[in-house]
Amino acid sequence: MTVRRSKVHIRPIPLALLAAALLTTGCQRSEALGPEAQAPAPARIDALAAPTPAFPHEPVVVTLAPPVPSAALVLDAAIDRLGHRFPGDVGIAVRDVQTGWTSHHRGLDYFPQQSVSKLWVSLTALDQVDSGRLDLSRALTVTARDLTLFHQPIRALALRPGGFHTTGDDLMVRALTQSDNSANDRLLHQVGGPDAVRATLRGKAIAGIRFGPGEPRLQATIAGLDWQPDWAGGTGFYTARDALPAETRRAAFDEYLANPVDGATPIAMVDTLARLRRGDLLSPASTAKMTAIMEETRTGALRLKAGLKPGWRLAHKTGTGQVYQGEQAGYNDVGILTSPEGRSYAVAVMIGRTNRPLAERMKLMRSVVAATIAYDAALAAQRAAAPPVKTDASGPGAAPEMLR
List pLDDT tens digits, range 241-288: 999 999 999 999 999 999 999 999 999 999 999 999 999 999 999 999
Q: What is the CA radius of gyration of the chain?
A: 34
Range of the domain at 329: 71-115+205-384
Residue 364 lies in a domain: yes
Strand 111-112 to strand 102-105: parallel, antiparallel, or no bridges (unpaired)?
unpaired
Residue 37 lies in a domain: no
Helix (H) or strand (E) holding 402: strand 400-402
Mean pLDDT for the chain? Answer: 86
* Lowest mean pLDDT segment, chosen from 57-66, 120-129, 197-206, 383-392: 57-66
For the chain, the farthest-separated pair of C-alpha atoms sits apart, in whole angstroms, at 126
Residue 97's alpha-carbon distances to 190, 270, 277, 352, in angstroms, are: 32, 9, 8, 26
pLDDT of 34 reads: 44
Residue 39's alpha-carbon distances to 27, 49, 109, 323, 388, in angstroms, are: 10, 18, 77, 97, 52
Segment 361-397, tens digit of pLDDT: 999 999 999 999 999 999 998 888 877 766 555 554 4
Residue 287 lies in a domain: yes
Helix (H) or strand (E) holding 93: strand 90-96
Say how many Å lie between the first and final Cα of the chain, rounded.
57
pLDDT of 44 reads: 41
Q: Angle at the Cα of 287 (from 285 to 290), degrees rounded to 5?
A: 105
Residue 176 lies in a domain: no
Q: Is the CA virtual torsion 188, 189, 191, 192 positive or negative? A: positive
Number of independent structural domains in the chain: 1
Segment 160-174, tens digit of pLDDT: 999 999 999 999 999
Give yes or no for residue 39 having a pLDDT over 60: no
Residue 398's alpha-carbon distances to 25, 234, 350, in angstroms, are: 37, 73, 47
Give yes or no for residue 75 having a pLDDT over 70: yes
Query: What is the four-CA torsion angle of 297, 303, 307, 313, rounded to 10 degrees?
Result: -20
> Are the CB atoms for 126 and 286 separated by under 8 Å?
yes
Residue among 371, 362, 312 at smallest CA distance from 332: 362
List strand residue ranges (DSSP E) for 114-222, in order: 139-142, 164-167
The residue count for the chain:
404
φ, ψ of residue 161 to 5 degrees: the values are -55, 125
pTM of the model: 0.80
φ, ψ of residue 249 to 5 degrees: the values are -65, -40
Residue among 381, 376, 359, 379 at smallest CA distance from 313: 376
Cα–Cα distance between 117 and 192 in angstroms, integer?
A: 16
**Adjacent-strand bridge partners of 277:** none
Residue 399 lies in a domain: no
Residue 268 lies in a domain: yes
Mean of the pLDDT values across residues 71-91? 96
Q: 3-class DSSP state for residue 404? A: coil
Helix (H) or strand (E) holding 198: helix 194-203
Residue among 217, 231, 222, 272 at smallest CA distance from 252: 222
Mean of the pLDDT values across residues 132-142? 97
**Adjacent-strand bridge partners of 179:** none
Mean of the pLDDT values across residues 328-350? 98
Q: Residue 231 is part of a domain; what is its CATH number?
A: 3.40.710.10
Cα–Cα distance between 184 and 176 in angstroms, integer?
A: 8
Residue 200 lies in a domain: no
Residue 279 lies in a domain: yes
**Adjacent-strand bridge partners of 329:** 353
DSSP code of 262? T
Q: Which amino acid is at 100?
A: G
